[in-house]
Amino acid sequence: MAALPFSAKSTPSKFVSSFIHSNHIRRNSRPFFITTTTCSRSRARRQLRVKNVETDEKDVATHTQQGSLATIPPDSSFIASNIKYHAEFTPSFSIESFALPKAFYATAESVRDMLIVNWNATYEYHDRLNVKQAYYLSMEFLQGRALLNAIGNLELSGAYAHALKTLGHNLEDVARQEPDAALGNGGLGRLASCFLDSLATQNYPAWGYGLRYKYGLFKQHITKDGQEEVAENWLEMGNPWEIPRNDVSYPVKFYGEVVSGLDGKKTWIGGENVMAVAYDVPIPGYKTKTTINLRLWSTKVAPEEFDLHAFNTGDHAKAYAALKNAEKICYILYPGDESMEGKSLRLKQQYTLCSASLQDIVARFERRSGESVKWEEFPEKVAVQMNDTHPTLCIPELIRILMDVKGLSWTEAWDITRRTVAYTNHTVLPEALEKWSLQLIQELLPRHVEIIKTIDEELIHTIIAEYGTEDLNLLEQKLREMRILDNIDLPDSVIGILCKSEESSAVDHVEEVDFSDEEAKTTDEVGQSKGLDTNTKNEVTFEPDPKLPKTVRMANLCIAGGHAVNGVAEIHSEIVKNEVFNDFYKLWPEKFQNKTNGVTPRRWIRFCNPGLSKIITKWIGTDDWVRNTDMLVTLRKFADNEDLQSEWREAKRINKIKVASFLKEKTGYLVNPDAMFDVQVKRIHEYKRQLLNILGIIYRYKEMKEMSPEERKAKFVPRVCIFGGKAFATYIQAKRIVKFITDVGATVNNDRDIGDLLKVVFVPDYNVSVAEVLIPGSELSQHISTAGMEASGTSNMKFAMNGCVQIGTLDGANVEIREEVGEDNFFLFGAHAHEIAGLRKERSEGKFVPDPRFEEVKAYVRTGVFGPYNYDELMGSLEGNEGYGRADYFLVGKDFPSYLDCQDKVDEAYRDQKRWTRKSILNTAGSYKFSSDRTIHEYARDIWKIEPVVLQ
């Protein structure tokens, strides 16, 4: 039998996990029980003792070896005993008290016992069957709190609530003690976590791979100066969900040099060596035994790297330099890359993820293969999905392992890699399509540069085969757009192809080529291309421009090195095919697919919105919709039912009261739960246009101030406008937007003339747990990015699932959401994606005429009504006719009048609560399409070619 990833030693007792799930649980014969002597409640002391009693150890051992899973769940009395066991025997806190923090850790460790049984059985079963497995590599996994999700998936919420009640605690209070895992930032990481939930729920054999960040991104504080960043402390008290796997580690190398042996085999020697150590986190499925794994890597060096001599001579910094250099790789998510050191650290992070994960994947393949390893079957057993371009180095790293370590030829390794790896694109923003300095990669990963150059050469030959050499202008254009190595000399094999033997042909080509600096051409003093001899044999070379950087284009490498490329919404996938990577699409149309994102309905409605979930179950007649969201469409036929509408509104109001209480706790602001709750929560970025939202609020406020109290009440629906999100620490303009929103809020919220008609609240440190509070209580959500710039979005799906009506542009998944919920139930405004380029051109030519209201609101800001801070830079970004970031690149001014008019329609609709509730119900009904279960099924069917494996 294959070794299990988590042995019995992982649990607090060798009987615990078997007992929990044993099919032979007998009420009169328990393996152990725990007695509790309770001291004075005022002292909150528990004295916990464990007593062993008679146990059929043979029976228990048999079921442990077989990985048997129970059909009989543990009762609350056993759960309470198990929690108390952990409080004494696996303590993270002193024994004197059983306060909430200790209760959380003991409860989490109790849940982990149960997960480990299913986890080991899942691993063993997949291993024994040797099924094809998918591996999802991502720099982010935004997990959120795990406790309520885990016990919900195990269908033990009631049992745990009752058990904790007997111990003097409330389950919700205990769950709030858990910090959010700081392993992600926004939609990219949350998508990855939703995918893991769906993979487990649908019984797909799959693992996730990521990095175990010590401090994550940052904890956001909001002060009078705006956003301030401090280190996240999520690991300060330990992580009860993870299992350190000190026996699973792999070497990761940086720098050094590449040498060739007599047989031509390449060896990468010297340099800096670190070790990547595995930490495993169980991911349970919903109403299934399947529990998959998220493996996170942490970095360290061997003890011998500690310079004991330097330490004893007093040079302490030198002594532990190597240790700190290794550890810092996993300190921070997305370290600032303004400096060369920051860029180097980011690249080290990406390579660590790729190298450690692929070494692990290869080792698992070899172990499963036994004595006969057939490398040509590797793509039949392994699928590797790169979540955006961060794991691009998977491609040269897999080739390196196969060639340099396993002895395969280039042809074999290249073929295996291309059939194994696939790429998900998440952006159309040019600055987000990663480009790395060739010099930096050359220094850090010299062997990989050799491999990338070979891949680039293969790609160039493919392009030449497709387009020929007759039209050098066309060929030069295709190479400029498609090459992996940008502004790099052509390889010798290509130069040979381009050599011309006839003088007339050479002259014709020379005359046809545009030798502008922009196209990286140089000419000699007689106007002929350098490197061409027009007398006899003529060589055509496209020389690099010395003034431009030499870079490696990671997205191009992903497309060339993998077998599938997918966008994440229908409109995004079309933009990818027709604009961003059109040349690649023409070359390999079969590679390109759409996989519209989805979110898990377990976390994003079943667990975070139990009141609404009960209503849905009641009216549909079953709770099967939690695993089959297609059933949500049944709600459409009840959308006008007055009883349903009444229940629906009551559930929403209860959630709004929770939001109001939360806002008071986090910000100090009091808001009226009877006002409309208008929410925009997402990463702060100019293209997401929080600036458009706050300018619209300012115009609303200005109008209010110019009216009498009676006029205000007659025209405006009361609103609470809620913002949340983090601006990247070095993104100055985004941080200005945060400061601007908080300044507007400070003015508006303290204006007695306005009162409850308008409130503006910025929620600090937005994360998954905050979203789980805000989304169920929201009524209008804003997804207002410049059309064509948001790949998909997933928060729009979460809002729709919770019956929130949306205002937005035709961008990302908004397009599909609007189709599903109905045009009348989505507030649409703004320019369309195909118009954006023309509108920017119009702006650059000085033809844009701003709406008077837009000019009015900017002037109002400049009066200083929102405080002394100088917002000239922010307002200036919306003016002028040229320059990225200036000249209103994101078309806030263009869409402003359409946005204001649309908001008037929102007010009108909200006044009719019956009409609004109908829209809300139809949004939930229309969200059926946006379950990550559906998305994962499409990945499994179309890209990974894997099948579900249900444990027997």
pLDDT per position as a tens digit, 733-748 = 999 999 999 999 999 9
Whether 614 is a known active-site residue: answer no
Tell me: pLDDT of 342 over 60: yes
Q: How many CB atoms lie within 10 A of CB 479?
A: 20
For residue 501, pLDDT over 50 is answered with no
Q: What is the predicted pLDDT for the residue at 793?
A: 93
Q: What is the pTM of this model?
A: 0.89
Alpha-carbon distance of 940 to 709, in angstroms, equals 59
In tens, the pLDDT along 13-69 reads 433 444 344 333 333 333 333 333 333 333 333 333 333 323 333 333 333 344 444
Percent of the chain with pLDDT over 70: 88
Residue 721 lies in a domain: yes
Confidence of residue 770 (pLDDT cuts 50, 70, 90): very high
- The total of other beta-carbon atoms located within 10 Å of residue 620's CB is 16
Q: For the chain, how many structural domains are there in total?
A: 2
Beta bridge partners of 260: 266
Domain termination residue (choose one: 271, 300, 329): 300
Per-residue pLDDT at 541: 55
Confidence of residue 317 (pLDDT cuts 50, 70, 90): confident
Q: 756 pLDDT exceeds 50?
A: yes
Contacts of 230 (CB under 8 A, 6+ apart): 218, 219, 221
Note if 683 is an active site residue: yes
Residue 536, pLDDT above cutoff 70: no
Choose one of 300, 327, 342: the last residue of a domain.
300
User: Active site residue: 11, 107, 288, 794, which one?
Assistant: 794
- Which pLDDT belongs to residue 320? 84
- CA pair distance 146, 547, nearest whole angstrom: 51
Does a structural domain hold residue 455? no
> Is 341 within the bounds of a domain?
no
Give the tens place of pLDDT for each residue, 903-919: 999 999 999 999 999 99
Q: Cβ(606)–Cβ(626) under 8 Å? A: yes
The active-site residue, picked from 521, 798, 858, 929, is: 798
Mean pLDDT of the 353-372 span:
96
Residue among 46, 368, 426, 783 flagged as catalytic: 426
- The boundaries of the domain holding residue 267 are 76-223+231-300
Contacts 24+ apart (CB under 8 A), 614-621: 615/644, 615/647, 615/648, 615/651, 616/924, 619/644
In a domain, 356, yes or no: no
Q: What is the C-alpha separation between 126 and 290, in angstroms, rounded?
A: 10
What mean pLDDT do residues 365-381 have? 96
* Digit-coded pLDDT (tens) for 293-309: 999 999 999 888 888 88
pLDDT of residue 763: 98
Q: Of 272, 300, 328, which residue constitutes the final position of a domain?
A: 300
Inform me whether the pLDDT recorded for 590 exceeds 50: yes
Query: Which of 208-222, 326-340, 532-546, 830-844 has the least mean pLDDT?
Result: 532-546
Summarised one tens digit per residue, pLDDT across range 267-299 is 999 999 999 999 999 999 999 999 999 999 999
Catalytic residue among 683, 719, 759, 858: 683
Which two three-digit tokens encode residue 272? 């800096």
The CA distance from 793 to 808, in Å, is 12
Q: Is residue 170 part of a domain?
A: yes
Question: 282 by DSSP, 3-state: which?
Answer: strand
Q: What is the CATH number of the domain that holds 696?
A: 3.40.50.2000
**Is residue 739 situated within a structural domain?**
yes
At 10 the pLDDT is: 41
Choice among 295, 688, 818, 858 that is catalytic: 688
Quick one: pLDDT band at residue 503, thresholds 50, 70, 90?
Answer: very low
Q: Find the catalytic residue in 63, 219, 652, 682.
A: 682
Task: Provide the pLDDT for residue 72.
Answer: 65
Give the pLDDT band of residue 335 (cuts 50, 70, 90): very high
Q: How far apart are CA 214 and CA 208, in angstroms?
A: 18
Which residue in 607, 602, 598 sits closest to 286, CA to CA?
Answer: 602
Cβ-contact 191, 707 below 8 angstroms: no
Answer yes or no: is pLDDT of 458 > 60.
yes
Asked if residue 885 has pLDDT above 90, the reply is: no
- CA gap 369, 326 in Å, rounded: 33
Residue 667's Cβ-side half-sphere holds a number of Cα atoms within 13 Å equal to: 26
Residue 794 falls in the annotated catalytic set: yes
Q: Is residue 484, in this structure, part of any structural domain at all?
A: no
Domain assignment of residue 91, yes or no: yes
Is 426 an annotated catalytic residue? yes
Does 655 have pLDDT greater than 90? yes
pLDDT at 329 over 90: yes
Contact between 564 and 423 (Cβ < 8 Å):
yes
Q: Which residue has the higher pLDDT, 246 or 504?
A: 246
Q: Where are the alpha helices (DSSP H) in 670-781?
A: 690-705, 709-715, 732-748, 768-777
